[in-house]
Amino acid sequence: YNGEYFQQHEGTAMGNSLSPFIANLFMSKFETEVKDKFEYFPRVWFRYVNDIFAVFDTKATRLDNFVAKLNNRFPTIKFTYEVEHNEQLPFLDVLVIRNSENKLEFDVYRKETATLRYILNDSQHPFQHKMASFNFLIHHLLNFPLSKERYTDNSKFASLPYEPKFTRGLDKMFKNININLVYNSKNKLQALLGNPKDKIDNNEKSGIYEISCKDCDQKYIGQTKRSILTRFKEHMAHLKYGRTEKCCVAQHAFDNNHRVDINNLKLIRNVINIRQLDAFESLEIIKCNSSMNKDNGPIPTSPLFAMINKDSYGSVNRGNKFSINSANV
């Protein structure tokens, strides 16, 4: 920055796509070591990113002593804790409740400062943003293990911890943004409130594609940043005008007098991030046993390819082009 280089000494870089994965690996190793070395470790320990839900036996050890031992392992990893209050403890968007029978019940958790105000119909937000409000509300109702009473309360936004002024029926919310949905006995609510974007034909998508031969089992695996249909037309143009040296598909069809048409085109993997195209193309070529490709793609050798399930995808060492000892991975 400003002509000066800075080196990061700890943690992971913000914005790097690998950072969350590496952090999660570190915490998994951290938890495994703690479980093996500590005299006491909670038998219920669920972690999501940096939030942990645990059932702690206060008769076995003191909670503050346990947390202090955790914080002494790494100077940069610090734990804080919150205990249940009135037999209730929030974890993410779930409110865990211990009932009179000492069993756990669940409810949707909303902060006391929640206003339950959502995007109105006359706003300039995209329609999918307005629908997102309902998607997550319906997701709670369909996926949380709610009792019949709590299901009814949440469907009407009449949860007990909130003042009556926040009570608002789901039907009123739909009318508020003027959304009309058609129901029948075969429709599922999740399907009706799914992705509001129009479905795009696979041939109009970009990514990794496959062209199979009509007269044999040979397949060509390729990549494109444009639609796969546009790329397929280029393959056919090479065949039509005899430019077989530029295209494996044209070369195969010309040399063997085989046929290829649009029905043989298939999208294998829709890839949005163009930086991932080389890796996915090489992976699909390695997985294919009958490839008409001349090589194993832009990344022909990678230790990760040795982790491919050989029973599902055939031998990785196809044609002796690629050989890695998986024990070294």
User: In this predicted model, what pLDDT tens digit does every residue of 268-302 receive, in sequence order?
Assistant: 999 988 889 998 998 898 888 888 998 888 887 76
For 292, phi and psi rounded to 5 degrees? -90, 5
Cα–Cα distance between 258 and 263 in angstroms, integer? 14
Question: Residue 241, SS3?
Answer: coil
Question: Which two tokens mark 43?
Answer: 């038998």
Q: Cβ(191)–Cβ(181) under 8 Å?
A: no
pTM flag (> 0.75):
no
Question: Residue 107, SS3?
Answer: strand
What's the confidence (pLDDT) of residue 13?
85
Q: Which residue has the tokens 């959502």?
A: 118
* Residue 310 CB neighbour total at 10 angstroms: 13
Q: Cβ(250)–Cβ(264) under 8 Å?
A: no
Burial 58-69 (b: 16+ CB within 10 A, else e): eeeeeeeebeeb
* Closest C-alpha to 38, from 57, 53, 10, 11: 57
Helices (H) and strands (E) in the chain, counts: 10, 8
* Closest C-alpha to 292, from 239, 329, 328: 239
What's the confidence (pLDDT) of residue 260?
92
Q: What is the CA radius of gyration of the chain?
A: 28
Q: Which residues of the chain register pLDDT less than 50?
A: 158-169, 171, 175-187, 310-329
Q: Cβ(260)–Cβ(253) under 8 Å?
A: yes
Strand partners, 47: 52
CA 257 to the chain's CA centroid: 44
What's the confidence (pLDDT) of residue 148?
84
Tell me which DSSP letter residue 74 carries.
-
Cα–Cα distance between 15 and 255 in angstroms, integer? 49
Please give the helix or strand (H or E) that residue 232 lies within, else none: helix 228-240
309: burial class by Cβ within 10 Å (0-12, 13-18, 19+)? exposed
User: Can you give the three-state secondary structure of 114-169, one letter per residue?
Assistant: CCCCCCCCCCCCCHHHHHHHHHHHHHHHHHCCCCHHHHHHHHCCCCCCCCHHHCCC
* Residue 28 CB neighbour total at 10 angstroms: 11
Cα–Cα distance between 329 and 305 in angstroms, integer? 10
Q: Cβ(322)–Cβ(301) under 8 Å?
A: yes
**Contacts of 138 by beta carbon, 8 Å cutoff, 6+ apart:** 189, 190, 193
Question: Which two tokens mark 208?
Answer: 């990794």
Burial 125-138 (b: 16+ CB within 10 A, else e): eeeeebbbebeebb
Q: Cβ(284)–Cβ(268) under 8 Å?
A: yes
